[in-house]
Structure 1
């Protein structure tokens, strides 16, 4: 239990990693504002309903919650089985609008932590492609950008690549102006209610391969402690980083394959 109560906003608190994050901070004595389409499902001090596809709802909510917040955990996300526009609006644009709107409401020493995904692997090779998306600051512009993209490229991967790239671009400015750190957490496949959607959109055989390689899928209890760490004073000099929490599946892929033992 914390000796000093912190004020934490958890977006996407209705289920999965978001619900576990809200419950974790609430149980340790923090004041948690749970934001979701179904916020009442979360274990929290306060609940607020918000459709993250709607910039006006985000703006109105941020205008009503006051200041002196210590942490924003943006855990909301929709899978690739949803309409492409919704995936980009929630996973990228909603995160961007929430983070930008929260910064003036946060205390110095605060932290923004966004849940991305290892599905964003390869974002470094798509910076030029994603530049147009990062120039899109409203829903109409995001939809126009997506209309010009290869329809066969997974929009979920695009959304999480954009989230990581935007967080990295935001991190230095947020620290310099507001004293707030910005980082992302990228889980591998995780046992949540939408795991079946990921199997449908990414291919069950792909996710089965990941599970066979590392032994199991992640549990929410594997992800929440990393979110907590990045939001804590213990990570006070960690800024602009993307932390993979995937049991080590991705690491050898980026360095030529695993060592054979």
Structure 2
């Protein structure tokens, strides 16, 4: 048990990385609010349900939970097999509304960590294309933007690209006004209940190639400690960063062919 109890909000705490994040904090004696769409048996101090597609539901949740929290871990996400509007509503807009709504409810020195994905690769080249989505602050505007997009482009990738860009743009002001840091964690393929959905939407051959390259898929135990570190005082000078947690799969794409040993 930690010497000083912290107060942590974990959104998307019903299964996978979110459940393990909540239970990680619970095991070390922190006060954990586990937020999920449906009831769950995740170990936590308190449970709340929230439909992240609904801005009014998010506002209601924020009103109920009060202030003086130490960290928000936004782990909620839906895969690309879900309807496109739901993917953007949860992975991007719901995250944005929760993060911005939590800023005044976090203590100075607090942190927000959002789980993005290595599927967001290429976000730097899509800044102009995504400008309209980043300007959208409600479900109607997000839906209208998506309706103009090429349906062949993976909406899951779009949602995570937008999440990373938003975090990077919000981080400086959040630090200056509230003393709160914002970072993202981008896992590679991870053994969770929705891995099969990713095989369907991204292609099993693609995920098998990633697995063959680095030796295995990640486990939730590979990802959660990075979330916990970025949300901790030990990461006090890390802000506006996207951290790949992928076993090194992405590195050669940026740096060139790996050195053979």
Give TM-score, length-normalised by structure 2.
Answer: 0.99
Name the CA distance, whole Å, in 1 between partners of 2:259 and 2:64.
53
More displaced stretch, 39-48 vs 111-120:
39-48
| Mapping for residues 97-246 of structure 1, pairs under 5 Å | 97-246=97-246
Name the CA distance, whole Å, in 1 between partners of 2:79 and 2:64.
29
Structure 1 contact 103–174 (Cα < 8 Å) conserved: yes
Name the CA distance, whole Å, in 2 between partners of 1:204 and 1:40.
29
Name the CA distance, whole Å, in 1 between partners of 2:68 and 2:145.
36
Structure 1 contact 15–41 (Cα < 8 Å) conserved: no
More displaced stretch, 188-197 vs 32-41:
32-41
Shift of 1:248: 0.1
Shift of 1:257: 2.0
Name the CA distance, whole Å, in 2 between partners of 1:39 and 1:30.
21
Query: Per the alignment, in what secondary structure is the counterpart of residue 186 of structure 2?
Result: strand
Cα RMSD between the aligned structures? Answer: 0.6
Name the CA distance, whole Å, in 2 between partners of 1:257 and 1:161.
25
Name the CA distance, whole Å, in 1 between partners of 2:255 and 2:3.
43
* Structure 1 runs not aligned, ≥5 long: none
Q: Report runs of 4+ in structure 1 exceeding 4 Å deviation.
A: none
Shift of 1:37: 1.1
* Structure 2 runs not aligned, ≥5 long: none
More displaced stretch, 249-258 vs 65-74:
249-258
Shift of 1:38: 2.1
**1:22-60 deviations in whole A, cap 9, x for unaligned?**
000001000000000124322100000000000000001
Shift of 1:173: 0.3
Query: Per the alignment, in what secondary structure is the counterpart of residue 8 of structure 1?
Result: strand
Structure 1 contact 186–242 (Cα < 8 Å) conserved: yes
Equivalence for 2:22: 22
Give TM-score, length-normalised by structure 1.
Answer: 0.99
Equivalence for 2:58: 58
Query: Per the alignment, in what secondary structure is the counterpart of residue 127 of structure 2?
Result: helix
Name the CA distance, whole Å, in 2 between partners of 1:10 and 1:87.
19
Name the CA distance, whole Å, in 2 between partners of 1:164 and 1:22.
22
Shift of 1:220: 0.1
Structure 1 contact 13–39 (Cα < 8 Å) conserved: no
Structure 1 contact 80–201 (Cα < 8 Å) conserved: yes
**1:90-125 deviations in whole A, cap 9, x for unaligned?**
000000000000000010000000000000000000
Structure 1 contact 34–46 (Cα < 8 Å) conserved: yes
Equivalence for 1:82: 82
Structure 1 contact 114–183 (Cα < 8 Å) conserved: yes
How many residues were matched structurally? 261
Q: Does residue 1:36 correspond to 2:51, yes or no?
A: no
